[in-house]
Amino acid sequence: MTTETRPATPALDPVELRADFPILDQDVHGRPLVYLDSAATSQKPTPVIRAMDDYYRHDNANVHRGIYQLSERATAAYEGARVKVARLIGVRDAHEIVWTRNATESLNLIAYSWGRHHIGRGDVIVLTEMEHHANLVPWQILAQEKDADLEFIPITDDGVLRQDVFEVLLRLKPKLVAFTHVSNMLGTINPVEEMTRRAHEAGALVVIDGAQAVPHMPVDVKAIGCDFYAFSGHKAMGPTGSGVLWGKRELLEAMPPFLGGGDMIREVHLRRSEWNDIPWKFEAGTPDISAAIGLGAAADYLRDLGMDAIRAHEQELVAYALDVLPREVPGIELYGPSAEQRGGVVSFNMPGVHPHDVAQVLDRFGVAIRAGHHCTMPLHERLDLSATARASFGVFNTTADIDALVAALREVQVLFAS
């Protein structure tokens, strides 16, 4: 492999950053772990692990309830995390941030709470062919229940949304348009500002699935102009069990609760109740306090690194991978657009070898990738694929990790040629 193809030194130093991720300091099958599955879940840096550890060691108590020191500290940390996450995505009013368990729950919350009250028979919901099941199945359930219609923006063979067809679909006057910011399979970064503007002009509300965007690039929901934005904390260096729904205040205030119980009420009588203010109206029961605190620490960590620097680093890695993989691994099939239009995701196939076998052999070399349909079965169907292998990048990955992927893929070829 030639050194000329290596990108210039990035502003972010991935080698130095590796020290922040204790999990990376291990061998797998006798080889140093090469983690290339950040799109499935991110590894957690020490400040996130420490924030949760500190909470349990020093502040553990239920929030919003106790009138004692521990509970006050727990509440301050829990609500403080909301402010940190708001800042990460360009939101001033932290009360527009609703804690959920993950992007899936955030999207379901919109479908159940907003959708059940605004979508009726014959209404049109526009989605895309590249959606993760999390931004598809809740709308299918809603459409079936309400006898509404789902329409889909198709993709080109390069994995880019057909904006010309979107224009035609907007003439149907959809009530809602929901699409992913970044595809978890193709890596495609969609023109979310432009799409939001056009959807609004047609009178639709806009929901964006930001699960693959928030961890990897600057996101400013106010600049995008959308109505709702959902993402998962565990993909953004936060813990599992942490998710976010951002919504415009006036929309959240007008929506009925999703779940009922403690904390989401102001007053309860035997036959009726009054709801709490947002965001607590949507946070019934004891929340995952430590997860929120961990996600707050993750938001600080990401902001300290700089989202522009993270994006630049991952774009360099993707450009490098798209350059070396076809040259060094003859016959490999890559899916998705060019490096400028994609996040840190490369899905591929090795002809004649099932992606699960590819992933299993790679594991023998310490290289962790994902194989399957990546919760995008309709997208795989559209591309006439049953499954793909996927490498995805994080801040600590280097071109050496991609070289390790290439070397292991060559071993796959040797093994399956014999």
For position 390 contacting ligand PLP by CB under 6 A, the verdict is no
Q: Do the beta carbons of residue 193 and residue 224 sit within 8 Å? A: yes
- Whichever of 310 and 324 has its CB closer to ligand PLP, that residue is 310
For position 216 contacting ligand PLP by CB under 6 A, the verdict is no
- Whichever of 113 and 135 has its CB closer to ligand PLP, that residue is 135
Q: Which residues contact 69 (CB under 8 A, 6 or more apart)?
A: none
Residue for token digits 């709801």? 275
User: Strand (E) positions, 236-278?
Assistant: 243-247, 265-268, 273-275
For position 212 contacting ligand PLP by CB under 6 A, the verdict is yes
Q: Is 149 exposed, middle or buried (0-12, 13-18, 19+ CB in 10 A)?
A: middle
Q: Which of 38, 75, 102, 113 binds ligand PLP (CB under 6 A)?
A: 102
For position 209 contacting ligand PLP by CB under 6 A, the verdict is yes
The amino acid at residue 363 is D
Q: What track of x and - describes contact with ligand PLP for positions 156 through 185 (by CB under 6 A)?
A: ------------------------x---x-
The residue from 49, 375, 377, 385 that is catalytic is 375
CB 42 → ligand PLP: shortest distance, Å?
A: 11
Q: Is 185 exposed, middle or buried (0-12, 13-18, 19+ CB in 10 A)?
A: buried
CB 328 → ligand PLP: shortest distance, Å?
A: 27
For position 132 contacting ligand PLP by CB under 6 A, the verdict is yes
Element spanning 294, H or E: helix 289-305
CB 210 → ligand PLP: shortest distance, Å?
A: 8
DSSP state of 353: B
User: Side by side, which strands form the sheet with 345-349?
Assistant: 333-335, 345-349, 388-392, 370-372
**Listed residue (346, 347, 345, 343) closest to 310, CA to CA:** 343
Q: Do the beta carbons of residue 230 and residue 179 sit within 8 Å? A: no
Taking contact as CB under 6 A, which single stretch among the options 2-10, 79-87, 102-110, 348-356 is the one that binds ligand PLP? Answer: 102-110
Indicate if 226 belongs to the active site: no
For position 232 contacting ligand PLP by CB under 6 A, the verdict is yes
For position 392 contacting ligand PLP by CB under 6 A, the verdict is no
For position 103 contacting ligand PLP by CB under 6 A, the verdict is yes
Which residues in this chain contact ligand PLP in the complex, by CB under 6 A? 102-104, 132, 134-135, 180, 184, 209, 211-212, 232, 234, 375
Residues with active-site annotation: 375
